């Protein structure tokens, strides 16, 4: 496995068996430092430098970012951050007094810091990072979570239909979404927005009430929900400078929260207000955390990254409906596989009068609205 690694891994002697055959840095002799069982701080620093600007041949993982022509000054500037983390890892891991747990934590932190983009990972690497994240959670909280990394199924293209004559504005979908997707409880972030609109005025988002709190359905109003529409031609993906968001083969537009730099270009590019930003560290009470997680879905996010509806990737890839579809008491939400000619979503598209928002933009959202 280490032969194919796209990034440098810190070997603290915990994975001795793996590192016997080849060194994580790719070199077979000299200059690396991780071949010697006893490592000095200097050797670790050198290893860190090698990892960041070393003459690695494979241009992948962090090298996409680091392997660019630049002068010495800026190179050292950019290195400072990673060196600090490296030094931190070294000081913890080489300390005589810190236990095995601390060392393992440091090792995990190192590997997580320098892992590649999820989009480029093979299944083995995906499993490794998911295992690391689960172990890390266990080390930190003493509790177990289950995180998966299912890939897109073949012959699946997810689509969604929303019946605007059925929605009554009960907001049960939003409740379910927040619980399912471990959304921050403080910032009141919601993937789904329910808009209360006046009858006879059409889709007038400027006059819609998005903050209603009164008995529903209100006289003379109708309700419609918006969320990420998982465009087939997503503009948010185009603008991402680090390719932290992309369209999966089953049509889901997903984010690698660990690769996102938080520039919010995607938020600006989305014509549907589908994306959300973590302005603060998302906090969920321990007993409310949904422990069935997916790397691209509802795993815990951090401050300063984008997130959005993933059609509950952790559920939908197992054949389940997203939490909002399951929670809706009126059956206004239809979800299914667009490629299955016998699916109910296909029947809706072929037999009801459906439309999408801002169709003229060519974004091809896979979220249709219809009426009874």
Partner 1 sequence: MNRKYYIYIFTCTFLVVFFSCKHNEGEYHNLNDKIKAVSKTYHGTLSSEVLIDGIKTLEITEGEHTFLIPERKSQIKSFACIECHNVGLDKLQSKDIKKAHWEITLAHADENTMNCATCHNGADMNSLNTLTGSKVDFNKSYKLCSQCHSSQFEDWKGGAHGKKVAGWAPPRASYTCVNCHNPHDPSFKSRWPSRYNTEQVEAPQAESGH
Contact at 8 Å (CB) between 119 and 126? no
How, if at all, do strands 146-148 and 292-294 pair?
Answer: parallel
Selected binder of partner 1 within 70, 203, 320, 358 (CB under 8 A): 320
How, if at all, do strands 367-370 and 158-163 pair?
Answer: parallel
In angstroms, the CA 107 to CA 192 distance is: 38
Shortest Å, Cβ 241 to partner 1? 21
Selected binder of partner 1 within 35, 153, 284, 357 (CB under 8 A): 153
Contact at 8 Å (CB) between 194 and 223? yes
Overall size of the chain counted in residues: 372
Shortest Å, Cβ 24 to partner 1? 37
In angstroms, the CA 332 to CA 322 distance is: 13
- Report the site for partner 1 in 84-113 (rule: CB under 8 A): none
Shortest Å, Cβ 290 to partner 1? 17
Task: Count Cα atoms within 13 angstroms, Cβ side, for 238.
Answer: 9
**Six-digit token string for 357:** 């928002």
Using CB under 8 A, which of the segments 118-126, 197-205, 292-300, 362-370 binds partner 1? 362-370
- With CA atoms as reference, report the closest residue to 12 among 132, 82, 92, 97: 92
Asked if 342 is part of the footprint of partner 1 (rule: CB under 8 A), the reply reads: yes
Q: Which is nearer to partner 1, 47 or 334 (CB)?
A: 334
**Six-digit token string for 298:** 């509802």
Q: Which is nearer to partner 1, 301 or 333 (CB)?
A: 333
Q: Which is nearer to partner 1, 134 or 323 (CB)?
A: 323
In angstroms, the CA 232 to CA 220 distance is: 35
- With CA atoms as reference, report the closest residue to 267 among 295, 228, 232: 228
Contact at 8 Å (CB) between 333 and 347? no
Q: Which is nearer to partner 1, 118 or 370 (CB)?
A: 370
Selected binder of partner 1 within 157, 255, 306, 313 (CB under 8 A): 157
Asked if 267 is part of the footprint of partner 1 (rule: CB under 8 A), the reply reads: no
Asked if 172 is part of the footprint of partner 1 (rule: CB under 8 A), the reply reads: yes
Q: Which is nearer to partner 1, 6 or 230 (CB)?
A: 230
Tell me how far the alpha carbon of residue 319 is from its chain's centroid. Answer: 20
Asked if 170 is part of the footprint of partner 1 (rule: CB under 8 A), the reply reads: yes
Shortest Å, Cβ 207 to partner 1? 15
Selected binder of partner 1 within 33, 86, 116, 169 (CB under 8 A): 169
Selected binder of partner 1 within 68, 344, 355, 358 (CB under 8 A): 344
What does the per-residue mask of binding to partner 1 show for 196-225, with x meaning CB under 8 A? --------------xxxxxxxx--------
Asked if 154 is part of the footprint of partner 1 (rule: CB under 8 A), the reply reads: yes
- Strands of the sheet containing 158-163, edge to edge, are 333-337, 158-163, 367-370, 354-355
Selected binder of partner 1 within 5, 86, 316, 369 (CB under 8 A): 316
Q: Which is nearer to partner 1, 102 or 175 (CB)?
A: 175
Peptide bond into 322 cis (omega under 30): no
* Torsion from C-alpha of 95, 99, 101, 107, nearest 10 degrees: 20
Asked if 193 is part of the footprint of partner 1 (rule: CB under 8 A), the reply reads: yes
Q: Which is nearer to partner 1, 188 or 287 (CB)?
A: 188
Instruction: Collapse the DSSP code of 218 into the 3-class scheme (helix H, G, I; strand E, B; otherwise coil) and give the result.
Output: coil
Q: Which is nearer to partner 1, 135 or 352 (CB)?
A: 352
Distance in angstroms between the alpha carbons of the first and the last residue of the chain = 55
| Interacting residues toward partner 1 by CB under 8 A | 153-157, 161, 163, 168-172, 174-175, 178, 188, 190, 193-194, 210-217, 232, 316, 318-321, 325-326, 328-331, 334-349, 351-352, 364, 366, 370, 372
């Amino acid at each position: 496995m280490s032969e194919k690694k796209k990034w440098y891994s810190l070997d603290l002697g915990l994975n001795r068996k793996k590192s016997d055959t080849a060194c994580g840095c790719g070199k077979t002799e000299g200059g690396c430092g991780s071949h010697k069982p006893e490592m000095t701080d200097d050797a670790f620093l050198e290893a860190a430098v090698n990892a960041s600007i070393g003459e690695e041949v494979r241009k992948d993982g962090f090298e996409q970012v680091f392997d660019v022509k630049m002068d010495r000054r800026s190179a050292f500037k950019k290195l400072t951050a990673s060196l600090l983390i490296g030094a931190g890892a070294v000081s913890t891991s080489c300390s005589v007094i810190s236990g095995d747990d601390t060392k393992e934590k440091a090792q995990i932190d190192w590997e997580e810091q320098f892992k590649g983009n999820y989009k480029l990972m093979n299944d083995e690497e995906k499993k490794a990072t998911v295992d690391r994240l689960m172990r890390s959670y266990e080390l930190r909280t003493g509790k177990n979570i289950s995180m998966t990394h299912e890939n897109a199924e073949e012959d699946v293209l997810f689509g969604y239909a929303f019946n605007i004559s059925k929605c009554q504005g009960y907001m049960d979908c939003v409740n379910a979404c927040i619980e399912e997707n471990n959304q921050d409880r403080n910032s009141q972030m919601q993937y789904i927005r329910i808009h209360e609109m006046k009858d006879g005025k059409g889709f007038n988002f400027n006059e819609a009430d998005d903050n209603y709190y009164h008995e529903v359905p209100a006289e003379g109003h109708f309700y419609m929900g918006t969320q990420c529409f998982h465009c087939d031609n997503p503009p948010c993906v185009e603008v991402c400078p680090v390719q932290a968001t992309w369209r999966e083969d089953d049509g889901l537009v997903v984010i690698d929260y660990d690769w996102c730099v938080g520039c919010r270009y995607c938020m600006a590019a989305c014509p549907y207000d589908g994306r959300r930003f973590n302005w603060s560290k998302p906090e969920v009470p321990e007993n409310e955390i949904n422990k069935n997680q997916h790397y691209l879905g509802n795993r815990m996010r951090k401050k300063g990254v984008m997130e959005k509806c993933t059609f509950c990737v952790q559920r939908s890839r197992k054949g389940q409906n997203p939490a909002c579809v399951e929670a809706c008491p009126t059956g206004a939400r239809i979800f299914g596989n667009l490629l299955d000619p016998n699916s109910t979503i296909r029947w809706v598209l072929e037999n009801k009068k459906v439309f999408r928002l801002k169709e003229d933009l060519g974004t091809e959202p896979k979220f249709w609205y219809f009426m009874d």
